[in-house]
Amino acid sequence: MSKDRISVYKFGGASVKSAEAFRNLAQIVQTNGSEQRLLLVVSAMGKTTNALEELLNLASQQREYEQAFLQLKAYHQEVLHELFPDRDHPVYQRLDHLFELLHLQLGSTPQNDNFDKVYDQTVSFGELFSSSILHHFLEAQGFPNTLLDSRKYIQTDNNWREARVDWGWSERLIKRDVLPLLQEGLVVTQGFLGGTNNGLTTTLGREGSDFSAAIFAFCLDAEGMYIWKDVPGLLNADPKYFQETVCYAEISYQETVEMAYYGASVIHPKTIKPLANKQIPLYVKSFLNPAGAGTKISDCRFEKFAPAYIIKENQCLVSFSVKDFTFISEQNLGTIFNALSELRIKINVMQNSAISFSICTDYHPTRLHRLIQTLHDQFVIHYNTELRLYTIKNYDADSLAKMLQDKEVLLEQRTRTTFQFVSK
Ligand SMILES: Nc1ncnc2c1ncn2[C@@H]1O[C@H](COP(=O)(O)OP(=O)(O)O)[C@@H](O)[C@H]1O
Ligand SMILES: N[C@@H](CC(=O)OP(=O)(O)O)C(=O)O
């Protein structure tokens, strides 16, 4: 087998959540690493990013965070103790140092007024911890590797928490430095993180490690990208909600990007575009059964595939009504869209009637409050929270009946292929 092939492997939180998970990961690298050059992109361990968000919230509200900090540190240390019996191993010093830096960062939070900027400097520690552990663990297992700081390669603007990639600059840097490193052996790097040209850390949006891997795959002209998950592949529904699911053996980029857009959380929505633009296949594989076929996502075409069910949680339905019985005009819509864009509120579904306009969006209380403040002079605004957005792609009578059963529908919309509704 030729060693000219480059593949990018992405391991998410679930695949590094415990010492056992790290061992399983090393096994996957051992099985597949002799056939190809591998770049490993790793997310934070388990639910570390959530824990870091919680720490930051406590610190920014000047509330007690020491206990939560120590808990997060203890979780990482437990994994270290299992993976590195020698307590003098340099990985211990490295992790101690990173936790000290996190502690300093949290200590300076209340004085800082740009929350989103501080968010990126804080929440990014999860991937710094996990990638350091992975680097040292693979070395100890006999897989020499380079630990690459993705913040120096994925160059972004300072649109904190959802930074936009400078593709040209990132590609030049990655081609210049990472290609030669891959000739020497494995490369390990962080998902989710980018960096500005003045050296500050940015993040690419929650669950953005899939996207990081796709950026590297694009810039390296990889032969394939693999995301290793706790499911057999891309399924027609989230097994957390549905007992019976079907695994797609092959599916197109287009179907996948739509599923991701509607909320199938298995793949970050931004992942597909860079891969499709260079025709790089994406494989969704199970780290619990690495020999399983998984799903291949590529430029294929299928006429018919099993209906896909997607549930997006934590939705909010907002309706804007004009105050004087004039119709909703393009001018009114322009005003609403401008405010939404300013506040980074994304529309998941929208619908207008004669005198009102409704949107379904992810619920962010602070942003919604600001939206109401901005527009309350011109519109009467009502909203409902704790809703779900249901989407059925490739629906038929049976799948509709199944999803709609016992639900009160607050808004619905259908095209020839896709049915969506908002409900409790
Ligand atoms: N269509 C789908 N197919 C497979 N898994 C799905 C789908 N929709 C949602 N999921 C969920 O995605 C989870 C895996 O993604 P994620 O939790 O982001 O993994 P990681 O953080 O380890 O990368 C699965 O456990 C499953 O519950
Ligand atoms: N750790 C980040 C980035 C990420 O992609 O994680 P995961 O691959 O576990 O979804 C997050 O939780 O948002």
Q: Are residues 102 and 14 in the same domain?
A: yes
In the reported structure, the alpha carbon of residue 237 is separated from the centroid of ligand 1 by a whole-number distance in angstroms of 10
Give the DSSP H/E element, type plus range, for residue 130: helix 125-140
Judge whether 127 lies within some domain.
yes
315 and 221 in one domain?
no
Query: Could you report the per-residue pLDDT of 244-255, keeping only the tens digit for each?
Result: 999 999 999 999
d(CA 376, CA 406): 35
pLDDT at 325: 78
Q: Tell me, using a 6 A CB cutoff, whether residue 229 lines ligand 1.
A: yes
Q: What is the pLDDT of residue 303?
A: 64
| Same domain for 171 and 316 | no
Residue 113 exposed, middle or buried by CB count within 10 Å (0-12, 13-18, 19+): exposed
Query: Is ligand 2 within 6 A of the CB of residue 46?
Result: no
d(CA 267, CA 215): 14
Tens digit of each residue's pLDDT (9 = 90 or more) over 9-51? 999 999 999 999 999 999 999 999 888 899 999 999 999 999 9
Q: Is residue 290 part of a domain?
A: no
- Nearest residue (by CA) to ligand 2, atom 10, is 207
Residue 355 lies in a domain: yes
Ligand 2 centre to CA of 416 (Å) is 34
Asked whether residue 109 falls in the same domain as residue 11, the answer is yes
Please state the rounded mean pLDDT for residues 215-242: 97
Burial 286-305 (b: 16+ CB within 10 A, else e): bbeebeeebbbbbeeeeeeb
Give which of 244, 261, 228, 229 is closest to 307, Cα–Cα. 244
Q: Is the CB of 284 under 6 A from ligand 1?
A: no
Ligand 2 contact via 266 beta carbon (within 6 Å): no
Examine the domain organization and report whether 36 and 183 are in the same domain. Answer: yes
**Residue-wise pLDDT tens digits, 254-280:** 999 999 999 999 999 999 999 999 999
DSSP assignment of 302-366, as one string? Answer: -S----EEEEEEEEEEEEEEESSS----HHHHHHHHHHHHHTTPPPSEEEE-SSEEEEEEE--HH
Residue nearest to atom 6 of ligand 2 (CA): 207
Name the domain boundary from 229, 250, 269. 229
Q: Which residue has the higher pLDDT, 302 or 194?
A: 194
- Cα(55) to centroid(ligand 2), Å: 17
Domain with 381 in it: what CATH number? 3.30.2130.10
pLDDT at 1 over 50: no
Mean pLDDT of the chain: 95
Last residue of a domain, one of 194, 210, 229: 229
- pLDDT of amino acid 355: 81
Asked whether residue 83 is domain-assigned, the answer is yes
Supply the pLDDT for residue 301: 80
pLDDT single digits (tens) 320-341: 998 887 778 898 899 999 999 9
Ligand 1 near 17 CB (within 6 A) = no
pLDDT digits (tens, 9 = 90+) for 198-207: 999 999 999 9
- Based on the fold, state whether residues 22 and 129 are members of the same structural domain: yes
Which numbered ligand comes closest to the C-alpha of 258? 1
Q: Tell me, yes or no, whether 194 lies in a domain.
A: yes
**306 vs 128, which has greater pLDDT?**
128
Work out which ligand 2 atom sits closest to the CA atom of 12: 8
Give the CA dihedral 323, 328, 331, 333, nearest 10 degrees. Answer: 100
Same-domain pairing of 313 and 222: no
| pLDDT at position 196 over 70 | yes
9 C-beta neighbours (distance < 10 Å), count: 26
Q: Domain boundary residue among 172, 206, 229?
A: 229
Residues 319, 220, single domain; the answer is no
CA atoms 230, 234, 238, 243: torsion sign:
negative
pLDDT at 85 > cutoff 60: yes
Q: Which atom of ligand 2 is nearest to the CA of 210?
A: 5
Say if CB 360 and CB 316 are below 8 A apart.
Answer: yes
Pick from 41, 50, 192 the residue to mutate for probing ligand 2's pocket: most ligand atoms within 8 Å of its CB: 192
Pick the closest to residue 300 from 269, 279, 285, 286 (CA basis). Answer: 279
Same domain? For 40 and 179 the reply is yes
For residue 323, the model assigns a pLDDT of: 83
Q: Which amino acid is at 80?
A: L
In a domain, 275, yes or no: no
Q: pLDDT per residue over 138-157, tens digit each?
A: 999 999 999 999 999 999 99
Q: Which ligand is nearest to the CA of 45?
A: 2
pLDDT single digits (tens) 341-355: 999 999 999 998 888
Residue 2 pLDDT more than 60?
Answer: no
What does pTM read for this prediction? 0.94
Predicted confidence band of residue 110 (pLDDT cuts 50, 70, 90): confident
Q: What is the pLDDT of residue 183?
A: 94
Distance 232 CA to ligand 1 centre (A): 10
Say how many domains are in the chain: 2
Q: What is the C-alpha to C-alpha distance for residues 209 and 127, in angstroms, rounded to an integer?
A: 10
* pLDDT band, residue 176 (cuts 50/70/90): very high
Predicted local confidence at residue 254, as pLDDT:
93
Q: Are 36 and 140 in a shared domain? A: yes
In a domain, 273, yes or no: no
- Strand ranges across the sheet with 409-414: 349-352, 356-362, 308-322, 379-393, 418-423, 409-414
| 189 C-alpha to ligand 2 centroid (Å) | 14
> 359 CA distance to ligand 2 centroid (A)?
27
Range(s) of the domain holding residue 51: 6-229
Ligand closest to 310 (CA) is: 1
**365 pLDDT above the threshold of 80:** yes
Whole-number Å distance between alpha carbons of 247 and 391: 18
d(CA 389, CA 197): 38
Instruction: Please name which ligand lies nearest the alpha carbon of 239.
Output: 1
Residue 14, ligand 1, Cβ within 6 A? yes
Q: Does residue 234 lie within any of the structural domains?
A: no
Predicted complex ipTM: 0.98
- Ligand 1 midpoint to CA 399 (Å): 21
